[in-house]
A and B are shown apart, each in its own frame.
Chain A
Amino acid sequence: EVHLLESGGGLVQPGGSLTLSCVGSEFSVSGYAMSWVRQAPGKGLEWVSSISSSGGTTYYAESVQGRFIVSRDNSKNTLYIQMSSLRAEDTAVYFCARDRCSVANCPSDFWGQGTLVTVSS
């Protein structure tokens, strides 16, 4: 069964940095675009970023553009997101998700369980 496991969440001070990882199992991530979606406590879902299967194309929400960098290592079946200049409003559970295609214009069909990022002093 397809499985995604995020890691790297935790408590970070405002202005700090954090990198999240997401390892896929029972499928090869190299065939799929991948996305990050977050959910602030008690709030709805917010798309954050997507990356094409090759890693050659990336997309970002305006709220994280210039602060977050999405990347992937297909040899490790792993997706990453580097987050810098973190703000209190970045506090959320971050989900990684597999998209139903390799490039763009696809929904996410499998999701990890999420990792909590808390930005606070």
Chain B
Amino acid sequence: AIRMTQSPSSISVSTGDRVTITCRASQGISSYLAWYQQKPGKAPKLLIYAASTLQSGVPSSFSGSGSGTDFTLTINCLQSEDFATYYCQQYYNYPYTFGQGTKLEMK
């Protein structure tokens, strides 16, 4: 199975900050990479797919980049509602695999 490694595992940030989360795949996955946001007690929400395509309704403050093995999620001008845990997922092949998550904490 393809292993997805996110960093950092958690980060302390403030509203208005620019946040960057990285995700590395153990083998090349082209652009078959999605990012999800999850808030406590809630279902995950798709933010970005195909590494850089914004899902409908997602604010443009979110952006994704990368291909192959290295990917990045960037959140510009962090808002209070953006405090959550973020997961990357590869859907290049089965079994689909998720990163371990990155939790945004308030500084």
- Given contacts A45-B87, A109-B46, A104 and B100 within 8 Å (CB-CB): no
Shortest A30–chain B CB gap in Å is 21
Number of residue pairs A-B, CB distance < 8 angstroms: 57
Q: Which of the candidate stretches A10-18, A67-75, A76-84, A110-118 sits at the interface with the other chain?
A: A110-118
Say if the beta carbon of B34 comes within 8 Å of chain A: yes
Chain B interfacial residues counted at CB < 8 A: 25
Overall SS of chain A's interface: strand
Number of interface residues of A (CB under 8 A): 24
Q: Which of B20-37 contact A (CB under 8 A)?
A: 32, 34, 36
Closest residue of chain B to A104, judged by CB?
B94
A33 to chain B, nearest CB (A): 10
**Residues of chain B whose beta carbon lies under 8 Å from any beta carbon of chain A:** 1, 32, 34, 36, 38, 42-46, 49, 55, 87, 89, 91-101
